[in-house]
Amino acid sequence: MRANTQLRDHRLKTEREWQQFVRDKSMSSESSWLQQSWGTSASNITLEQTCAPMDDPESVRRQFLATELYQVAKPLLDELVYAVTDSGFAVGFSDPSATLQWTAANRVMQKRVEKAHFLPSAHWDEASMGTNAVGLAARMVKPFAIFSAQHYVPSLHEWVCYAAPIVHGPSGHVAGVLDISAPWQNSTPMALATVSHYAQQISQLWSTIQLKPSFYLNLCGCSHGQWLGRTGLPRRLQEIFLTLALHPEGLSLEALHAHVYGDEPVSVSTLKSEISHLRQHLGDILQARPYRLALALQVLPTDAHLVEQYVLAGQFSDALNLYQRPVLPNSQAPAVVEYRNYLHQLVIRSLVASNNIDALWQFTVMHEAEYDVLLRLEQLLPDSDGRRSAVEAKLAQLE
């Protein structure tokens, strides 16, 4: 009885906080992650929204069932479904951009999930459906619990949702998000631990799979800086590695210094010291006179190089699954700045020319708003598509 009273009190508290936000629409510079998510939601959707935008559930489900990721995850998904559905939970699995690929629920919950479009092909990113656990876990790459009125849209205030990301360890890239959701009365501290446990187990199994083609250094994923999925390289060493990767013919010490430091007052001896540190990670891969990388031909230097290959080949889904952030966004190294700008503009130009609605949308979910991408989406999306209002709202903010 005490637990029920505590849950009701917690629900009333979240409801009051939500009502205050909706009334005042104001956030301080130190707003909580929840208020920031509500702010994102408010600028993209209305409070009247009752369900997630959805495409073709059966087609998306069939495609997901044919993937290697599903085959790896299936035993654990079956186990999770058996463990939680009789307790009133629905189970969902999304892609990295929070689009559901697979769901499961008992008969009692089925009507609820259908009403909310908690179904394959439904878009559960924050711009499409407001604050929710799937969207937050996909964007922040960590587990989230969203209870009752912590959801932005009132239609979800009857829900409690728990979600955790699936991450491929060697590459650092997010494979998807695992979620369990139920009526708010079913809230329990064990639920977040449960979904996190199963997400970790699936991540560990998925991490044993060698994703090909492979690369040495992760620059665009959530585990940026990982060398062969094991060791995190400091940013300066990442800059040196990328600079050498962009110059396979090799560079003299002076040229490497110019590409990495530009006009910064950094001595050549400092660069030599950094090279020495990098060699501790790379071993014989890093060679001198000139400085160059002796990489295996079948392995690309970085995930950014693979993104470039995918984009040029028109494989936009593969490219965007890797391209989760610009290359070393805080770096001011001349070589890095030039390549970062080149790759980002290549992705944008190619997407705009592709007329690929899903790829354009995936880019808007994962990256800062780009006018050309949003404008093309506005031109392509039919009036009946629920994503159109979010695109129009973002465009209005940029104009």
User: Tell me, what's the pLDDT at 386?
Assistant: 83
CA 309 – CA 323 distance, rounded (Å): 12
Cis peptide before 290 (omega within 30 of 0): yes
pLDDT tens, 318-374?
Answer: 899 889 899 999 999 999 999 999 999 999 999 999 989 999 999 998 898 899 999
CA 147 – CA 161 distance, rounded (Å): 6
CA 389 – CA 153 distance, rounded (Å): 15
Q: What is the DSSP string of 49-92?
A: --S-----HHHHHHHHHTSHHHHHHHHHHHHHHHHHGGGT-EEE
User: Tell me, what's the pLDDT at 211?
Assistant: 61
CA 327 – CA 339 distance, rounded (Å): 8
Helix (H), strand (E) at residue 94 = strand 90-94
What is the four-CA torsion angle of 218, 221, 225, 227, rounded to 10 degrees? -40
Q: What CATH architecture does domain 2-207 belong to? A: 2-Layer Sandwich (3.30)
**Domain limits, the chain:** 2-207, 215-354
User: Tell me, what's the pLDDT at 120?
Assistant: 96
Closest CA to 215 of 142, 296, 323: 296
Q: Are 71 and 146 contacting, i.e. CB atoms less than 8 angstroms apart?
A: no
User: Tell me, what's the pLDDT at 285?
Assistant: 82
User: Tell me, what's the pLDDT at 231?
Assistant: 58
Q: Are 250 and 234 contacting, i.e. CB atoms less than 8 angstroms apart?
A: no
- The count of residues in the chain is 399
Q: Are 114 and 15 contacting, i.e. CB atoms less than 8 angstroms apart?
A: no
Burial environment of residue 25 by CB neighbours within 10 A (0 to 12, 13 to 18, 19 or more) = exposed
Q: Are 345 and 352 contacting, i.e. CB atoms less than 8 angstroms apart?
A: no
Using 70 as the pLDDT threshold, list the residues of the chain that sit under it.
Answer: 1-3, 26-31, 171, 210-215, 222-231, 296-299
Burial environment of residue 332 by CB neighbours within 10 A (0 to 12, 13 to 18, 19 or more) = exposed
Helix (H), strand (E) at residue 321 = helix 316-322
pLDDT tens, 27-76?
Answer: 655 568 898 899 989 988 999 999 999 988 998 999 899 888 999 999 99
